[in-house]
Amino acid sequence: MPIMKIDEIYCDVDFSLLSRHLELLDIELTRLNAAIIESTDPESDGFCDSGEYFIGSGFVAIQRYFTATALGLGLSMEEALDIPPMTSPKASLAAAINTGANYWKHVEEWLAHMNKPIDPKFPRSGQNTLDRLEGITPWQEYTCSNLLAILLKGQRQELSLLLPKIEEWRNNAFALHDT
């Protein structure tokens, strides 16, 4: 659904749905974080892997929002991934989350290729994603969790805390569309 702006008010149904989706994921993340604190071995108990799963799926939902919004405004994905806010001098929030989403969706496939001595079939897009990701956070265990921690800069590990930055991105995308 296209975004409408009247005066300084946005009517953005997709943003509302994304907000609800991230809040639901946060319920599970909050439960998992409490279980991690209580556990003597959260990794063996599977809590860390579960958190990674929910964070990765949250990144994919945000990626979908970025894509739908950009295309709805007539922007290319290349333009959309350069729109502030920035997470570092070299990476925008949109680019960082897009990278995290692609990592989460494809990591198993990429690891299968990388475990072979020299694999010419390893997709170039996979290597590009890993290179971009390494510019932000190591792509080791719990990469999505590490990326979320970097994006939130010391706040709780809750996806909905990204919503103000996503909203800022949307406003900047809309402004770029208007120029």
Q: Is 9 helix (H, G, I), strand (E, B) or coil?
A: strand
% the chain with pLDDT above 70: 79
Angle at 135 between CA 129 and CA 136, to 5 degrees: 95
Write the pLDDT tens digit of every residue in 67-93. Answer: 999 999 999 999 999 999 998 888 899
DSSP state of 83: P
For residue 85, is the peptide bond before it cis, meaning its omega torsion is within 30 degrees of 0? yes
- What does the alpha-carbon distance between residue 50 and residue 64 come to, in Å, rounded to a whole number? 21
- What does the alpha-carbon distance between residue 145 and residue 112 come to, in Å, rounded to a whole number? 22
- Indicate the range of 25-34, 73-82, 137-146 predicted with least confidence: 137-146
Straight-line distance from the first to the last Cα atom of the chain, in angstroms, rounded to the nearest whole number: 21
pTM, entire model = 0.86
- Indicate the range of 51-55, 137-141, 149-153 predicted with least confidence: 137-141
pLDDT score, position 44: 92
Residue 157, Cα to own-chain centre: how many angstroms? 13
Number of domains in the chain: 1
Q: Report whether pLDDT(41) > 70.
A: yes
At residue 116 the predicted structure's pLDDT band, cuts being 50, 70 and 90, is low
pLDDT score, position 47: 94
pLDDT score, position 126: 61
pLDDT score, position 112: 67
At residue 114 the predicted structure's pLDDT band, cuts being 50, 70 and 90, is low
Q: Report whether pLDDT(123) > 90.
A: no
Q: Report whether pLDDT(133) > 70.
A: no
* Exposure of 134 in the CB half-sphere (CA atoms within 13 A): 6
Q: Which domain holds residue 82?
A: 4-178
Q: What does pLDDT average to over the chain? A: 86
At residue 163 the predicted structure's pLDDT band, cuts being 50, 70 and 90, is very high
Task: Tell the burial category of 1 from Cβ atoms under 10 Å away from its Cβ (0-12, 13-18, 19+).
Answer: exposed
